[in-house]
Amino acid sequence: MSPIASQRAICFFDILYADMREGEMSGSPKPIEFLGAPASPYTRKMLAYLRYRGIPYRFHISMHDSLKGYPQPKPALFPTFYLPDEAGELQAVTDSTPLIRRFEGEYQGRPALPDDPVTRFLQDIVEDYADEWLTKIMFHYRWAVPENADHVAPLLVYWMMPQAAKGPANDLAENFAARQAGRLGVVGSNDATAATIEASYRRVLACLDDLIATRPFLFGTRPSAADFAIYGQFTQLLGIEPTSAAIARESAPRLLAWIDHLEDATGYAAHDDGWLSRDEAATTLRPLFAEIGRTYAPYMQANAAAHAASEKQVTLEIDGAPWTQATFPYQAKCLRVLRDSFAALSTQDQTAVRDAFDGTGCEVLTTPP
């Protein structure tokens, strides 16, 4: 099946499956409604998470007419969930990580976050790395490589408007590609950083391929939010962008199969003993923490410092090479949340995290500014 046919089949399946579950689950909660797009890694992250958890949902592809009149998020981001606030008023909510934490509290069974506080914090780091660093790699391969942009831009238009006439669709695709290419500097992709980004991609492929060779998922025999976060980015890198997909086919074919397993992980059991212990996670995930400490950690620290100083540019060295990009306030917030989570751990648990990160470069993620 072609990538576009596969994506369309997934979207149809999600709408149909939600309808079936709504009718079959007497007394079950009303399906969660949300708007997204197949080319959005965060949409794919949430779809896979909801399927695994068995949470009823109704997925609408962007520009679906049935969502007219719904509240609008500011800024407009994918996916957009429509959820009640404390007063029962419908709100547009967009951030995948807090959404997962909300759903973990509101729905019982098959949790995607480990119970052990140390293992959970390690999981949080990997999830944020996927959301905030792997997305740089995805955006780079999608829009900085001309043949990839030429491939994906028409798909983006037809995913939203399958009946669009070819001429207008091509015009929209060309304009959208140009606009996205103009935003490459926002995520850090430029001539000076391209080699760093691409080397990082190859290393993380090798690292994850080695990990998945030993167990089904990163933190044991059941998937975590970190697995779903990586899955979301990899649906694009391994399944849509031709250049990055070719690299994965050559160097890490195991991961191509792995993302298919994560697409619908409902067949995997969620036994309490399915999580790695904190010591097992610290030991076996150390190569991944070293990669995170090599790229994401120094960037996040420098970005937070630049944001605190009201500087418009982040400038640092990553892996011995210069890195410059616009300061990203949201990623400064992400680091603050992680540091606050670490500060909330007990002294004993903080020591366990420090031991897990010792010498990897991840130590800065736990250190207050």
Residue pLDDT, tens place only, 73-114 = 888 889 999 999 999 999 999 999 999 999 999 999 999 999
Tell me the one-letter amino acid at 24.
E
The H or E element that residue 253 is part of is: helix 253-263
Q: What is the pLDDT of residue 29?
A: 77
- Backbone phi, then psi, for 323, in 5-degree steps? -135, 125
Q: What is the pLDDT of residue 352?
A: 98
Q: What is the pLDDT of residue 75?
A: 81
DSSP for 152-175?
A: HHHHHHHHH-TT--HHHHHHHHHH
What is the rounded distance in angstroms from the CA atom of residue 46 to the CA atom of residue 232? 8
Q: Tell me which residue of 52, 55, 59, 62 sits closest to 14, measured CA to CA.
A: 59
* Under 8 Å between Cβ of 304 and 314: no
Retrieve residue 61's tokens: 């592809």
CB burial string 58-68: b at 16+ within 10 A, e below: bbbbbeeeebe
* Full pLDDT tens readout for the chain, 369 residues: 344 444 444 443 454 344 444 444 446 678 999 999 999 999 999 999 999 999 999 999 876 445 777 888 888 889 999 999 999 999 999 999 999 999 999 999 999 999 999 999 999 999 999 999 999 999 999 999 999 999 999 998 998 888 999 999 999 999 989 999 999 988 999 999 999 999 999 999 999 999 999 999 999 999 999 999 999 999 999 999 999 999 999 999 999 999 999 999 999 999 999 999 999 999 999 999 999 999 999 999 999 999 999 999 999 999 999 999 999 999 999 999 999 999 999 999 999 999 999 999 999 999 987
> What is the DSSP secondary structure assignment for residue 29, as one 8-state letter?
P
Retrieve residue 171's tokens: 């015009």
The model carries a pTM of 0.91
Report how many helices (DSSP H) and strands (DSSP E) the chain contains, helices first.
Answer: 17, 6
107: CB partners within 8 A, 6+ apart: 29, 53, 55
* Under 8 Å between Cβ of 221 and 227: no
Q: What is the pLDDT of residue 103?
A: 98
68: CB partners within 8 A, 6+ apart: none
Task: Please tell me whether the peptide bond between 242 and the residue prior to it is cis, using omega within 30 degrees of 0.
Answer: no
* Under 8 Å between Cβ of 301 and 335: yes
Q: What is the pLDDT of residue 10?
A: 46
Retrieve residue 300's tokens: 């996040």
Neighbours of 359 (CB within 10 A): 11
CB burial string 341-352: b at 16+ within 10 A, e below: bbeebeeebbeb
